[in-house]
């Protein structure tokens, strides 16, 4: 099923990284989105002083099926209510803070869902479901996402490890084997440590997965499978990566649920066993008799 949103986000994020002719088309669409969705590829090429071929190449660069999908996504963006993305202000009323944070969180989750490529998601889920070992790597706030992924996959008996130190990560990943999966998490896609881990992993038989903001980046260029979150820039008070972390956790939840449902009965047994073990931790310890 074709996605119906995120066209303008994709164009804005990729605009400066596109070849000149494709950039002209992207700029025209961003400036005149309402007009653009009523045009054919040829008309859009003429309006942007390029060609219909440039429009088709732009669609390929955005990894959409064609001009119809791109126009459908843009139309969906235009129908969606604009979100107040202002930052928190001095002495902000509590209720306003609640509304702003909730609205921003809802938007970041929806945009991230719209940016998920179904084919790449399926490849990621298949790799994780069949993995012998899984290494999640991230630093800073992305390290929190790696830890969350680790504890989720451990609950369904996956041999999973969260790594946040470059030296430890390199030590673990350099010995990765066929059937292992290395997941590099970086919102910017330019985090040196994450790129280095994926670079090391790419020299092994392991499968590599990146989770970054949408667009071309160093980290995504080093991965076999690329997953994306919304590229929305963090405002000042949200620079603690609140929105980006939420988007990362959203994708991790999707991966976990998809892997879990691929072996449903076995997963339920694992979850029941781990739940019972946790509940047992709170019971009084009874000393064994010799």
Distance between CA atoms of 287 and 241, rounded to whole angstroms? 47
One domain for residues 56 and 130 = no
Q: How many domains does the chain have?
A: 2
One domain for residues 58 and 133 = no
Domain with residue 175: its CATH number is: 3.40.50.10490
In a domain, 95, yes or no: no
Greater model confidence, 76 or 130: 130
In a domain, 200, yes or no: yes
- What is the Cα Rg of the chain in Å? 22
One domain for residues 136 and 227 = yes
Q: What is the mean pLDDT of the chain?
A: 88
pLDDT, tens only, 194-224: 999 999 999 999 999 999 999 889 999 999 9
In a domain, 225, yes or no: yes
One domain for residues 138 and 240 = yes
Q: Is residue 181 scored above 90 in pLDDT?
A: yes
pLDDT, tens only, 8-66: 989 998 998 899 999 999 999 999 999 999 999 999 999 999 999 999 999 999 989 89
Q: Is residue 1 scored above 70 in pLDDT?
A: no
Distance between CA atoms of 134 and 144, rounded to whole angstroms? 16
Q: Is residue 129 scored above 70 in pLDDT?
A: yes
Put simply, whether the predicted model's pTM sits higher than 0.85 gets the answer no
Q: Is residue 263 scored above 60 in pLDDT?
A: yes
Strand order in the sheet with 181-185: 160-163, 134-137, 181-185, 207-213, 225-229
User: What would the mean pLDDT of 158-184 be, rounded to a whole number?
Assistant: 97
pLDDT at site 290: 61
In a domain, 104, yes or no: no
Contacts of residue 4, Cβ cutoff 8 Å, sequence gap at least 6: 72, 73, 75, 76, 114
Domain with residue 39: its CATH number is: 1.10.10.10
Range of the domain at 121: 115-277
């Amino acid at each position: 099923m074709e996605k119906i949103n995120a066209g303008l986000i994709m164009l804005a994020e990729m605009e400066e990284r596109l070849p000149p002719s494709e950039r002209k088309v992207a700029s025209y669409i961003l400036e005149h989105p309402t007009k653009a969705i009523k045009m054919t590829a040829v008309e859009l090429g003429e309006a942007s002083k390029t060609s219909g071929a440039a429009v088709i190449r732009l669609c390929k660069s955005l990894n959409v099926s064609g001009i119809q999908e791109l126009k459908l996504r843009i139309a969906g963006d235009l129908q969606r209510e604009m979100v107040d993305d202002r930052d928190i202000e001095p002495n902000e009323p509590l209720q306003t803070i609640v509304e702003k944070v909730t609205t921003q969180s809802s938007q970041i989750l929806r945009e991230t869902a719209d940016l998920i490529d179904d084919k790449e998601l399926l490849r990621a889920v298949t790799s994780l479901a069949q993995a012998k070992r899984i290494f999640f790597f991230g630093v800073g706030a992305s390290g929190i996402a790696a830890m969350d992924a680790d504890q989720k996959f451990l609950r369904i008996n996956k041999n999973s490890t969260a790594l946040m130190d470059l030296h430890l990560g390199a030590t673990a990943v350099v010995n990765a084997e066929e059937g292992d999966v290395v997941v590099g998490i970086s919102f910017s896609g330019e985090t040196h440590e994450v790129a280095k881990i994926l670079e090391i992993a790419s020299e092994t038989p392991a499968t590599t997965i990146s989770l970054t903001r949408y667009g071309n980046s160093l980290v995504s260029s080093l991965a076999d499978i690329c997953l994306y979150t919304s590229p929305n820039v963090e405002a000042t008070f949200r620079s603690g990566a609140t929105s980006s972390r939420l988007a990362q956790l959203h994708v991790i939840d999707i991966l976990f649920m998809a892997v879990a449902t691929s072996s449903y009965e076995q997963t339920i047994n694992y979850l029941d066993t781990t739940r019972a073990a946790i509940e047992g931790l709170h019971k009084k310890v009874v000393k064994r008799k010799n």
